[in-house]
């Protein structure tokens, strides 16, 4: 699994501060300029692992975040989709592990060629530490993760 640091995502820092000020965490930000319109996709999550995001949360953040991005981009020719992770979110960027600390996930570990389940205890730019059932701690390197997703509880 690839790790892309949030600091390397253009405009992430400015947008993340705004979203966090509203009580959420910015999980993903993609800005794709097209011929006539700039397409933006963003994902927010709750700061609390067990709290889900609803339509009203997304609408509230969408209004504020779109205005901020239009100012940063210098255009109003934008289209933005803002979502929540969902209950069975697939983790695409290994940097997301640190955002989802406390969540239960399953990762496909290439070294054991099987799914490994656990709660995210911590994560850095190289690996994630999971707490397996029974309290055992397991460190899994991102290079050994083929897939990762939330465990629906």
40, 69 in Cβ contact below 8 A? yes
Model pTM score: 0.88
CB count in 10 Å sphere of residue 149: 17
Tokens of 141: 């390197």
- Helices and strands counted in the chain (H then E): 3, 8
15, 70 in Cβ contact below 8 A? no
Q: Could you read off the pLDDT tens digit of each residue along the chain, which spans 153 residues?
A: 999 999 999 999 999 999 999 999 999 999 999 888 999 999 999 988 878 899 999 999 999 999 999 999 999 899 999 999 988 899 999 999 999 999 999 999 999 999 999 999 999 999 999 999 999 999 999 999 999 999 976
């Amino acid at each position: 699994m690839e790790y892309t640091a949030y600091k390397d995502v253009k405009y992430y820092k400015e947008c993340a501060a705004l979203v966090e000020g509203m009580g959420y965490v910015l999980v993903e930000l993609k800005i794709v300029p097209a011929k006539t319109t700039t397409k933006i996709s963003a994902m927010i999550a709750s700061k609390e692992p067990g709290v889900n995001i609803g339509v009203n949360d997304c609408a509230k953040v969408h209004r504020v975040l779109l205005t901020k991005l239009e100012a940063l981009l210098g255009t109003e020719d934008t289209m933005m989709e803002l979502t929540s992770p969902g209950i069975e979110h697939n983790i695409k960027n290994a940097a997301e592990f640190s955002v989802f600390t406390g969540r239960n996930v399953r990762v496909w570990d290439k070294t054991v060629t099987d799914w490994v389940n656990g709660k995210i205890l911590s994560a850095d730019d190289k690996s994630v530490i999971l707490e397996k059932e029974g309290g055992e701690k397991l460190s899994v390197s991102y290079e050994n993760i083929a897939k990762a997703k939330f465990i629906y509880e």
